[in-house]
Amino acid sequence: MFWWYSTRRQDFLRTGLLIGIIWLTLYTYQLYYFYRTDVRQYQQKQYSYLNHKFYERILCFFINNKYCLRQPKTLSSIYDRNLSNILREQPLLYQYAIAPHFINFKSLLKTFIPRINKQYLVYVCDRPCGGWGDRTRKIVGAYLLSLALNRTFIINITWPCPILDIFEPNIIKWNSKIYQNNKSTNLTVLTLSATDNDYREVLSWKSYDIIYFKTKDLGYYSMLLWRDDLYQRLQYYGFQRSTLFIHSVFTLIYELLFKLKKHPKNHIDDIVHNYELNNERTNLFCAHIRIGRNPSNPNDNIFPKREKMNITVINFLRKQLNDQCNNKTLSSLCNYTKIFVTTDSEQVQTYVQKQFGKHLLNIEGLIRHIDRAAQKVACESLEKTILDFQMISYCNSMIMSKSAFSFWSNVRRLKPYEKTYIYCDGIKSIRRAGDYEKYPYGSC
């Protein structure tokens, strides 16, 4: 009887072991199958880089170590191990690693590896070329064009002073040395549209080593969307037509490119700490009041529709503050309610300081338009202009002027169309990017 029981137990163990081996084989094959499927779809940019690495780690554990050992420990692979942490530490970037974007950061970050390619696209601003909002959108367009053309991207801004005084590369290295010799060829591009003739011109750039890019607008941008050869190269990096509109990818490119240097970054960090901007209870209500020509900017445009702008916007901000401080259920949040106003007028800035006192967050500095003032004073105002632009990303609510500075700084908010308004003969609500276009400059 004991012998029979012992045999049955051995048979049961053998059967269980056999079933386990079969199950493990099927499970491993399934992992491998879906891994290969994910790689193919990943190469078509339907899944994120992070999903790809997840399956890769599972395979390394379940299949064999040779798979892992076959991957050379290059600068790229070492950097990849920290990619997820880098993205999570920068939420403005991390939002592009997930739906609906699924950007292929691994391929985008290949610029960290020394490249054989010695062809360049250089964004140049060595004379007046627009305010900071205008420049940044042109930089974003130029960078995407460089990707589509497989050229190393360089930024060369020296007006009103070198941008390297304030920024350094964040993830994409845009200050590389240009390698050229007596045989190097170059072309300066002043205008570019999306016409068939200009498309053929772009294709002819293959014969030039360096393209100096000085276009004044983004008339060529639709070329990146609808010329299949250019779009397919962008698709490799995870860009899709449905999300390749410049307002959708602006924050991604801006954050990949720009990182404040130590001194201006410390300035921002001190403000964030002193005003507790990372505290969930803090509400930062913001506005950009650009009134146009005034004593601080005598060479600026005249905006006749903005005569009442400063009073209207400040009254709106005061109401937001009073709603927090006078409501019994919200009164505990009064001390955590802050106001930030960036403006082109020192008179408006002084008036705002008197109105909001301790609730006002203020960045000191000279107020001048960086493109329309004399070069020396424009240079002195450049840092404040950029710090104001950066600060708006912390805002819980934003009132815009009809201005490139307003629009693109607001786009850098994690929720750019939540509690967002524009001044246009009164305060109007903005709930999507298209709403901004409803209000033409001449009416606002």
Same domain as 288, residue 229: no
Alpha carbon separation from 133 to 100, 151, 174, 273, 408 (Å, rounded): 25, 24, 19, 26, 6
Same domain as 304, residue 204: no
Task: Give me the pLDDT at residue 369, please.
Answer: 95
List the helix and strand counts (H, then E) for the chain: 18, 14
Q: Mean pLDDT, to the nearest integer, of 27-33? A: 56
Q: Which of 85, 105, 125 is the last residue of a domain?
A: 105
Domain that holds residue 292: 262-443
CA 441 to chain CA centroid, nearest Å: 25
Mean pLDDT in the chain?
85
Single out the residue of 436, 356, 348, 339 nearest to residue 391, CA to CA: 339
Same domain as 240, residue 129: yes
CA 249 to chain CA centroid, nearest Å: 7
Task: Give me the pLDDT at residue 372, please.
Answer: 92
Helix (H) or strand (E) holding 77: helix 75-80
Same domain as 229, residue 200: yes
Contact 255, 92 (CB under 8 A): yes
pTM strictly above 0.85: no
Alpha carbon separation from 67 to 32, 61, 63, 75, 106 (Å, rounded): 12, 10, 8, 19, 19
Taking the C-alpha atoms of residue 341 and residue 318, their distance in angstroms, rounded to an integer, is: 12
Contact 154, 212 (CB under 8 A): no
Same domain as 407, residue 348: yes
pLDDT of residue 53 exceeding 80, the answer is no
Same domain as 300, residue 177: no
Task: Give me the pLDDT at residue 239, please.
Answer: 94
pLDDT of residue 178 exceeding 70, the answer is yes
Taking the C-alpha atoms of residue 273 and residue 296, their distance in angstroms, rounded to an integer, is: 30
Q: Which of 260, 291, 323 is the last residue of a domain?
A: 260
Task: Give me the pLDDT at residue 43, please.
Answer: 36
Q: Mean pLDDT, to the nearest integer, of 384-393? A: 97
Sequence-separated (6 or more) residues with CB below 8 Å from residue 158: 125, 126
Task: Give me the pLDDT at residue 37, please.
Answer: 41
Sequence-separated (6 or more) residues with CB below 8 Å from residue 321: 285, 337, 339, 356, 359
Task: Give me the pLDDT at residue 443, please.
Answer: 87
228-236 helix and 132-148 helix, angle to the nearest 10 degrees: 90
Same domain as 406, residue 322: yes
What is the DSSP pairing of strand 258-260 with strand 167-169? antiparallel
Single out the residue of 340, 144, 112, 178 nearest to residue 254, CA to CA: 144
Question: DSSP readout, 236-303?
Answer: HTT--GGG-SHHHHHHHHHHHHEEE-HHHHHHHHHHHHHTTTTSTT-EEEEEEE--EEETTEEEEEE-
pLDDT of residue 3 exceeding 60, the answer is no
Q: Which of 81, 105, 129 is the last residue of a domain?
A: 105
Number of domains into which the chain is organized: 3
Same domain as 224, residue 195: yes
Taking the C-alpha atoms of residue 114 and residue 74, their distance in angstroms, rounded to an integer, is: 11
Retrieve residue 319's tokens: 């109401």
Percent of the chain at pLDDT > 70 equals 82
Single out the residue of 56, 12, 53 nearest to residue 31, CA to CA: 56
Retrieve residue 129's tokens: 């070329």
**What would the pLDDT profile of 392-438 be if each residue is shown by its tens digit?**
999 999 999 999 999 999 999 999 999 999 999 999 999 998 999 99
Same domain as 225, residue 293: no
Same domain as 415, residue 304: yes
Same domain as 373, residue 243: no
Same domain as 172, residue 115: yes
